[in-house]
Chains A and B, each alone.
Chain A
Amino acid sequence: MKKITFVVGCIVATIHSFSSVAKEPTQSLSPVLLDTKDGDATTIGLQFKYEGGHKFATSNESQAPASESTAAPDGTPPVEVFTDPEKLRYVGLALKYEISGTATAEAENNPENLVDAFIDLQFKSSNPDAFGTITGGALVKYETDQAFENEQWVYGLSATYGKDDIFGKKGFFGIDLGRGLVDPTEDKARQTALGTTSLDKYYRNELEILFIYPIGEAVPFLGKMADSFEFNYRYYQESGAPAAVEAAKLDTFFLRTFRLNLEHDLFIAYSEGKLPFDVQEDEFFTLGFKYDLN
């Protein structure tokens, strides 16, 4: 007990030594038009997100001596200058929460039928240009579908790396890796595959890759029409899945999206795959525009 108290005390003392920044809660709603290849018709969707949190950071910069923070004898105001951001390296902790997903008029036609809510405690290392930004941490996540017919909890760890200017001073590449213990409260497809209503916990690996490139600059004739090209890949794989789950193709899920962002908030996207809780793999085009609320 004393050891636990000591460890908690050290963590609190460490966090207390960091300076903090509150992240105000924000929300957004974006209407989209989703076309499922195997569905009956096109359906209208609404992408939503609510998030907030708190950050604590400490850096390798030294605080200015106290004498520099007081006025000079001739009354000249004190001057302190921020450390050169190109040389600064710092670490931080963040506590975040979020709810996000896509809702459609008809849930069965929703190709992105995964809603999640999580609380995440994260470590961040922010480095000068060449090294990029790294985050890692522990999270508790609740996943469900739009109709709340399937739901599960995930307890896991994640690590994320992101780097800008990867090709000729252009483009962003990011990768997010995670491994978590999934506790399925209700998963109808899995229950059917296993022939039981009592589901065991299992481990799941997650991967998400994001690549963005300002294609309008790279391909001059597209310059007036296209702003950027995006590739997004999401992958979920169950570790040591039972044969029945593998046979039902419920052990692996992926969704890859190619998207061209056009002028005037228009876009064309092509996606292929399925997310957890989806039984059927889809190929679908998305056409839409964006509208943000706050």
Chain B
Amino acid sequence: MPKNEEVYEWRQNNACVATYNVLEGDNFLDQFEDVDIPFDKAPDVTMGKLRYFPKSTSNSNLLEVLGNQMARKFLKHVSKTFTLEKQTPGKKTADFIEELNDVFSSRNGTIRDLAKILDDNVRFPDEK
């Protein structure tokens, strides 16, 4: 994240709760257990600590395709709970996925980063 950018506030809004539930849920991505990482401690957990992230290689080509697969799955699960109304008219789904892809491909990307991207792109019911 750029140094001058304000840190996204992790809170009980639709974006943060959806991000947490999709990553944690056994029927969704199942990347951790809620007893190990409760909601309040989740925002600064990095992708490198989640189950999908490889520890035996740093090959950026493989991380890129893996991150793309995860980004698509993440958005698919969010879309089953919420209608993905655009926050910014004209914004493309491909760009949305690529933003998520960058986080999922990065060992240092955080759960907070995912929630911010989701909040920036989707207009949730609690924002209407």
Which residues of A come within 8 Å of B, CB atoms? 19, 21, 23-24, 26-28, 30, 47, 49, 51, 55, 57-59, 61, 63-64, 68-69, 78-86, 88, 90, 92, 94, 96, 98, 100, 120, 122, 124, 126, 128-129, 132-135, 158, 160-165, 172, 174, 176, 208, 210, 212, 214, 216-217, 227-228, 230-232, 234, 257, 259, 261, 263, 265, 267, 269, 290, 292, 294
Contact = CB atoms under 8 A, between A and B. Distances in A.
A232 B57 contact: yes
Interface in B60-108: 60-62, 64-66, 68-70, 72-73, 75-76, 79, 83-86, 89-99, 102, 106-108
Interface of B: 1-2, 30, 36, 46, 48-49, 51-52, 54-62, 64-66, 68-70, 72-73, 75-76, 79, 83-86, 89-99, 102, 106-109, 121-122
A212 B51 CA distance: 9
A109 B97 CA distance: 42
A231 B51 CA distance: 14
B121 to A, nearest CB: 8
Most buried by B among A84, A165, A174: A174
Contacts of A231: 56
B93 A85 contact: yes
A202 B117 CA distance: 45
B93 A164 contact: no
Contact of A82 (B2, B68, B99, B122): B122
A123 B117 CA distance: 23
Nearest to A22: B102
B108 A174 contact: no
B56 A210 contact: yes
Contacts of B48: 28, 30, 290, 292
Given A210-B56, A259-B56, A292 B108 contact: yes
A162 B86 contact: no
Contact of B54 (A158, A232, A265): A232
A84 B84 CA distance: 9
B56 A64 contact: no
A128 to B, nearest CB: 8
A63 B88 CA distance: 12
Contacts of B70: 164
Given A81-B86, A88-B94, A265-B49, A160 B58 contact: no
B91 to A, nearest CB: 8
A162 B59 contact: no
Contacts of A212: 52, 54
